[in-house]
Amino acid sequence: MNPTAAHHPDPAWRGRITATLIALLLLWPLLVASEFKPWILLDAQSLASTWHFLASFIPPAHSAEFLTMIVAATWQTIAIATAGLTLALLGAIPLTLLATGSLSVSRLESGRMRPAGAVVRQAARWLLVLLRSVPELVWALLLVRIVGLGPTAGVLAIALTYSGMLGKVYAEILESSEAHTTRSLLRNGSGRMVALLYGALPAAASELVSYTTFRWECAIRGSVVMGFVGAGGIGQRMDESMKMLAGDEVSSMLIIFVALVACADLVSTFLRKRLG
């Protein structure tokens, strides 16, 4: 034992212990409120039913009839996600342009925006908050009542929520990108939109594309979830198979699902390499 160590206690020790204990004490009510009881997973009855369901996963369903059906449903899911994201871009791009502060000519001159410009920018930001604060599932439930069951509700739901998310993050990417090039173009008399095209866009292109493909991946996942409330695609099929406890069908769909996300990842990597 080292005799000198005992005489040099770490002054931070008590603080760390206290902070940890307080954090645990604060966490406890949250666990109670969320009814977190993981031991339920381990009681004999749950284990038996889990085992029964998981055992039916192997082998995955692979009859020709089922596969044609699932390929069509997968294609519909991809279509919902892509169409939804395209519509979202149509909404997000104009809102991004309104919300991006670094394109303000008046801020360049005196360090402040003109009041009118500031009001428009704030309004665009609030609209983006409103659009993305309602989850796509909730939009889908609302839209299913308006346009009826089917993919249209899914497409519109994705378009609404994702235009809010894309607009916010695009504006942030553009604002955090190198401002020097855009400012120089503005100082030399270019228009705002043109300065964006020639200054900020080439600087931020890779980040924008990367985020867009990530959102496309999320849209595929989102459209599956919306299938459960009747918005079509592979999600609706998965809901049916789940209800019939057809584990082999569920496992086939999960495999397709993993493959879809992996493909989206490949597309993203490819695009970023081209732009990097």
The Cα 101–Cα 192 span in angstroms is: 11
Least separation in angstroms between residue 136's CB and another protein is 32
Amino acid identity for residue 276 in this structure: G
What are phi and psi for residue 148, nearest 5 degrees? 85, 170
Hey, CA dihedral for 231, 233, 237, 239, is it positive or negative? negative
Residues binding another protein (CB under 8 A): 105-106, 108-111, 114, 178, 180-181, 183-185, 187-191, 193-195, 197-199, 202-203, 205-206, 275
Distance separating alpha carbons of residues 212 and 119, to the nearest angstrom: 28
Q: Are 260 and 238 in contact (CB under 8 A)?
A: no
Q: How far is the CB of 108 from another protein (least distance, A)?
A: 6
Tracing tokens 């004490």 back to the chain, one arrives at 25
User: Rounded distance, CA 149 to CA 24, Å?
Assistant: 46
Q: Which C-beta is closer to another protein: that of 104 or that of 152?
A: 104
Map 6-29 to HEC letters: HHCCCCCHHHHHHHHHHHHHHHHH
CA dihedral for 204, 206, 207, 212, sign (positive or negative): positive
Based on CB atoms, which residue is closest to another protein, 87 or 108? 108
